[in-house]
A and B are shown apart, each in its own frame.
Chain A
């Protein structure tokens, strides 16, 4: 099953929010772009018309316990393990509003991904998490064959996706394999992004003729430079 948008347009109060969008959601996707480029609008459309849960920083909770908020009793063993791993040391019978901010973020994410949907989107929320928690969640989604979209200002997130779409003023201005998009240095910098450290370092070392390739692995690059 996949979600395909062809020449999709969205206009609100006479303003074109999304223009001629061609989008294929059948793998893990990064959606990047400047502020007001249409990223959240696209995720909201997918949420409303295709039931793709949009997970964003939203601390409005509807139940009096964490347990009820994520319907813990209905979760399978693997899902319960994830809750216990991510919310370790948390008593699930406490009120969600009593959680620390970091745990509230995790609760938002757990609510979104534990509803047995085949798709999910993260609207600039994964960046709040420490790397190990983010990797844990994405590994779980891959194992469960749940496809995800990540909206983020951190280009390191592209390493966790297959395809990247770049939005600008409501239009897709580039798309392709995430690893290839990461090498679009001029375009990414023009939009205001910072390249991931290892790509930036490799490109600069290439300019100095110190290496010939792009290295994503620090140890390999260190061994290449200091044999």
Chain B
């Protein structure tokens, strides 16, 4: 499987379990150690300023830093896992079901962060998810995986390709446009609702 460097890729499919390097910190999150102490211990080669900077980028506050790991919410765990990946300075940031624990406002912040990481810092970002709706506006490529084999590999511009939806739920906007086209509506491959509204206004 080839993951394009310096791009944002979505890996989709029910059976997406892959042998890609993704550190599992689940056991660490049972510890009662404070977040900041855990990080200082884990990254004893880095100064505290660097750690604080990563936490701030990941929207973790001074209050959050003092929380023991075992009381963190799933939202805070996702943020901390991302901060750890940033501190490790990984070239490839792998995000497994990352979007589930965020409301739109925070997730939009992270989407902008990921775009910046790719364009400014040459990082590669990979979303492993079954929820195409929330990431379809930032991905460059789509890989669909079944039984650990890539069955589809396409540019995200081809997001309207029907075959993808044999494996994952179709985003509602795509479903709507396809239905409208059956009623002879002249609509383009919209992924943004505001653009769709303009298209509908021109079409009806």
Contacts and interface: CB of A to CB of B under 8 A. Distances in A.
A101 interface: yes
B192 to A, nearest CB: 11
Interface string B47-82: 000000000000000000000000001111000000
Interface stretch (A20-28, A66-74, A110-118, A202-210): A202-210
Contact of A222 (B169, B180, B193): B180
Contacts of A205: 197, 200
B75 to A, nearest CB: 4
A128 B130 CA distance: 8
Interface of B is mostly: helix
A129 to B, nearest CB: 8
B172 to A, nearest CB: 4
Contact of B74 (A59, A124, A226): A124
A127 B102 CA distance: 12
Interface in B1-38: 14-17, 26
Contacts, number: 94
A64 to B, nearest CB: 20
B179 A218 contact: yes
B152 interface: no
A222 B14 contact: no
Interface residues on B, range: 35 or more
A128 B97 contact: yes
A127 B103 CA distance: 13
Interface of A: 34-36, 40, 56-57, 59, 100-102, 124, 127-128, 130-131, 153, 191-194, 196-198, 200-201, 204-205, 208, 210, 218-219, 221-223, 225-226
8 contacts: A35-B101, A102-B14, A128-B130, A130-B14, A208-B201, A218-B176, A222-B185, A223-B183
Given A124-B100, A194-B104, A204-B193, 8 more contacts: A101-B96, A124-B74, A192-B105, A193-B104, A197-B176, A208-B197, A210-B204, A226-B204
